[in-house]
Structure 1
Amino acid sequence: MKYKYLKLLVILLGLLLTIMDIFIINVSIPSIQRDLHASHGEMQFMIAAYLIGFASLLITGGRLGDLYGRKKIYITGLLAFMVSSIACGLSAGAEQLVISRFVQGISAAMMAPQVLSMIQILFPDHQKRIKAMGWYGITIGIGTVLGQFLGGYFSSLTMIEEPWRLIFLMNIPICLPAVFFTLKLLDESKISVQQSFNAGGVLVLSGGLFCATYALTMSEHEGFNFKNGLLMIISAGILFIFIKDQKKRIHNKRSYLIDFELFRFTNFNLGIVAVSFFFIMLDSYFYILSLFFQNGLKISPLDAGEIIVFQGLGFILASVLSVKLILRYGKKALIAGLFFIIVVLVFQLFLFRMETGFPVFCLLLFLHGLGIGSVIPSLATIALSGMSEKLIGNASGVYNTFQQIAAIIGIVAVGSIFYYFLGEKPVVKHYNNAFSVALLINIFCLIFVMICIFKVPDHVLPETRHKK
């Protein structure tokens, strides 16, 4: 069993890289912009490029793993991530960095579905899988905290010129051992039936997802203008054509990219809806919290970063403790965790004010992290439970895609409502009102997640407290 957990550690290195590089660039934006003489528009593309590449190719990454081997595609993703990280670190200009970040996102899309797939295959037993998914949650927490911390640390170094380059080059000493131990320890797995790869489907699906993620991501910076609205309509048309084509290909027994048998699983459908609403809540919360702290409550960026670190610590702790609760109480523990987050948000509604002391902010963010960490790992467990090895890669890719797009929708939609209530010349009162409205939307999303979890069949997250 210890050997299995060593394999799990190797698998989770890919997840760590994926999560860490989402956050690591944010703190370094001012120094990158100064050293590369980049415009505000180029900096927006720099941040968006990773997410666009990541969200657009997740389903493709999952299908590649199914057909050609999850170990092989995972290693390919690691190597591509390392090379693109080196390209980011050595970028001579803003355009090169944007392209390198886009490739980095594509590389992450090759890794992420394999992580979830290999965990499901490595731990077929329900109890062992729940424990493994606890470590999955811990890795997300560590990646979030480490990304923000290392981004700030490396960018502030004075011993070398342009120290921000280290935030990308530090991926090399993680990727190299990850590749080595993947080759040595992990077993190959793929579907047994020989099928060709639907390259045309990749182009159509990636095009549709690219248009959607680009429009949503850029709407965060530009607003939802005519161009972004048109791209969303084009995306919807492309995806409609893609779905019709895929169903026809399956009916005619030709190669396909998405197996729609996935959507016959009640737990998968409920898990997809639950994770979508959860990440609409989560990513919009962090986006708005940073604005509220720094612009509304006039908390310095350094102090705001320290407060948010407490959220990550709570997340990590909950990922450890929640495993026993989920195994003992099943989905009741998950519903309790969601209710706990709602209670914490209600307290924030009344206590996040100018006169509130620093320890109270830290405590409420720590408690928020406890709630978040108790929920996230189990959402993936619910969605992927009962999937055959034939479907697991496809299911992982679809799950991750919904999660990423929901995160972007949350930032754009809830962020737009937040700005609407701020008005043109906001003062502290307006920030308080806008933040309160955003929290109420977050609470509504969590209630919707609770309803989904309540409808999940009991055998997906069974209670074991009565078993000896």
Structure 2
Amino acid sequence: MKYKYLKLLVILFGQLLTIMDIFIINVSIPSVQRDLHASSGDMQFMIAAYLIGFASFLITGGRLGDLYGRKKIYIIGLIAFMVSSVACGISAGAEQLVIFRFMQGISAAMMAPQVLSMIQILFPVHHERTKAMGWYGITIGIGTILGQFLGGYFSSLTIMEESWRLIFLMNIPICLPAVFLSLKLLNESKISVKQSLNMGGVVTLSAGLFCAAYALTMSEHEGFYFKNASLVVISAGIIFSFIKNQKKRIQNERSYLIDFELFRFKNFNLGIVAVSFFFIMLDSYFYILSLFFQDGLKISPLEAGEIIVFQGLGFVLASAVSVKLILRYGKKALIAGLSFIIVILILQLFLFRIQTGFPVLWLLLFLHGLGVGSIIPSLANIALSGMPEKLIGNASGVYNTFQQIAAIIGIVAVGSIFYYFLGTKPAVQNYHNAFSIAVLINILCLIFVIVSVVRVPNDVLPEMKREK
């Protein structure tokens, strides 16, 4: 049993890197911009490049693991992530950093589906897998906190010029032992039927997802004008053509990228709906909360960051504790966790309108983190539960892709509504009103998540039988 959890630790290195590097550059933006003489547009694209590369290649990463071996692709992803991190760390200009951040995102997309796939294979029994997914959630929380903390820490060092470069170079001492331990400890797994990779499908799907991810991400900064709207339409056309082509290839028994048998599993479909609405809520909440704290309540960036760290602490604690609740009460524990988040959001609507001290803000964010941390690990568990091994990589890639696209949609759509109600010359009251509208949308998203969880078959997250 302990040997299994040692393997799990090795697998979670990849998840830690993936999450940490989403957040690590945010706090370092002023230092990077100054040293590379970058424009604000360059910096926006630099942040977006990682997410665009990540979202565009997740399904391909999952399929590569199915076909050529999940251990092999995971190790290749680790090495590629380390190399691209070094390239980011020694970049001479903004354009180079954008390109290498994009490559970092692609490398992360090779790792992330293997993480979920290997957890499902390593822990086939429900109670063991639930515990493993708890550690998966803890890793997400630690990665979020570490990313923000280390980004600020390394950028503020005075031992060298351009110390922000260390935020990328620090990945080397994480990747090297992860590669070594992966080679030594992990077992290989892949589908038994020999198939080739559908390269045409890779190019088509990646192009469609790239257009969607680029348009949605850049809309956050540029607005949803003609260029970005056109890219979304083009993306929809490309993905529609891709789906039609894939179905024809499956009928003709030719190589394919997505096996649509995935969508015959009720729990997978419900898991996709649940994770999509949950991440529309979660990412838009953090985006708007940061604006509300700093621009509306005039809290300094450092103090705002400290408040949000409490959310991460709650997340980590809940990921560890909620495992027992999920095993005992099944999906009832999830519904309770989702209802708890709604209650905390309603409390924030009232308490943020009065003169609230920092201890109350810390508590509210900590409680919000408790709710979020009790939910995220189980959403993946719902979607992938009972999935045949031949589909697990494909399913992980599709699941992660929906999660990332939903996060971007949340920031753009809910963010746009927030700015609309903010007006052109906002006062404090306008910020409160806009925040309230955004939170009500978040609550509506959580209601959709609750409905999806209620419909999940009871055997997916079974309750522990009580002894009479």
Q: Which residue of 2 aligns with 1:151?
A: 151
Counterparts in 2 of 1:244-283, with a 5 A limit?
A: 244-283=244-283
Q: Which residue of 2 aligns with 1:204?
A: 204
Shift of 1:352: 1.2
How far, CA to CA, are the matches of 2:46 and 2:465 in structure 1?
49
Shift of 1:354: 5.8
How far, CA to CA, are the matches of 2:408 and 2:32 in structure 1?
23
How far, CA to CA, are the matches of 1:39 and 1:326 in structure 2?
48
Q: Which residue of 1 aligns with 2:398?
A: 398
Q: Which residue of 1 aligns with 2:419?
A: 419
How far, CA to CA, are the matches of 2:162 and 2:427 in structure 1?
36
How far, CA to CA, are the matches of 1:196 and 1:117 in structure 2?
20
Shift of 1:355: 1.2
Shift of 1:465: 4.2
Consecutive unaligned residues of structure 1, counting only runs of 5 or more, are: none
How far, CA to CA, are the matches of 2:152 and 2:104 in structure 1?
20
What TM-score, normalized to structure 1?
0.99
How far, CA to CA, are the matches of 2:434 and 2:107 in structure 1?
37
Partner amino acid, structure 1, of 2:271: G
Q: Which residue of 1 aligns with 2:224?
A: 224
How far, CA to CA, are the matches of 1:160 and 1:194 in structure 2?
52
Shift of 1:223: 0.3
SS at match of 2:299: coil
Show CA shifts across 1:425-451 (max 9, x none). Answer: 111000000000000000000000000
Shift of 1:353: 3.4
How far, CA to CA, are the matches of 1:451 and 1:188 in structure 2?
38
How far, CA to CA, are the matches of 2:354 and 2:101 in structure 1?
38
How far, CA to CA, are the matches of 2:107 and 2:282 in structure 1?
24
Q: Which residue of 1 aligns with 2:118?
A: 118
Partner amino acid, structure 2, of 1:151: G
Q: Which residue of 2 aligns with 1:44?
A: 44
CA contact (8 A) 1:297 1:354 kept: no
How far, CA to CA, are the matches of 1:137 and 1:281 in structure 2?
17
Q: Which residue of 1 aligns with 2:388?
A: 388
Partner amino acid, structure 2, of 1:317: L
SS at match of 2:322: helix
Q: Which residue of 2 aligns with 1:330?
A: 330
How far, CA to CA, are the matches of 2:371 and 2:229 in structure 1?
35
Consecutive unaligned residues of structure 2, counting only runs of 5 or more, are: none
CA contact (8 A) 1:311 1:366 kept: yes
Partner amino acid, structure 2, of 1:402: F
How far, CA to CA, are the matches of 1:123 and 1:331 in structure 2?
20
Q: Which residue of 2 aligns with 1:74?
A: 74
Partner amino acid, structure 2, of 1:240: F
SS at match of 1:271: helix
Q: Which residue of 2 aligns with 1:34?
A: 34
SS at match of 1:461: coil
How far, CA to CA, are the matches of 2:355 and 2:297 in structure 1?
9
How far, CA to CA, are the matches of 2:214 and 2:236 in structure 1?
13
Q: Which residue of 1 aligns with 2:133?
A: 133
How far, CA to CA, are the matches of 2:438 and 2:156 in structure 1?
33
How far, CA to CA, are the matches of 1:288 and 1:59 in structure 2?
29
Partner amino acid, structure 2, of 1:6: L
Q: Which residue of 2 aligns with 1:16?
A: 16
Q: Which residue of 2 aligns with 1:365?
A: 365
Partner amino acid, structure 1, of 2:323: V
How far, CA to CA, are the matches of 1:357 and 1:290 in structure 2?
17
- Shift of the 113–349 alpha-carbon distance from structure 1 to 2, 3 Å rule, reads same
Q: Which residue of 2 aligns with 1:353?
A: 353
- Shift of the 401–467 alpha-carbon distance from structure 1 to 2, 3 Å rule, reads farther
How far, CA to CA, are the matches of 1:295 and 1:229 in structure 2?
28
SS at match of 1:356: coil
Show CA shifts across 1:283-338 (max 9, x none). Answer: 00000000000000000111111110000000000001000000000000000000
CA RMSD of aligned residues (A): 0.7
Q: Which residue of 1 aligns with 2:59?
A: 59
Shift of 1:129: 0.1
What TM-score, normalized to structure 2?
0.99
Partner amino acid, structure 1, of 2:420: Y
Shift of 1:159: 1.8
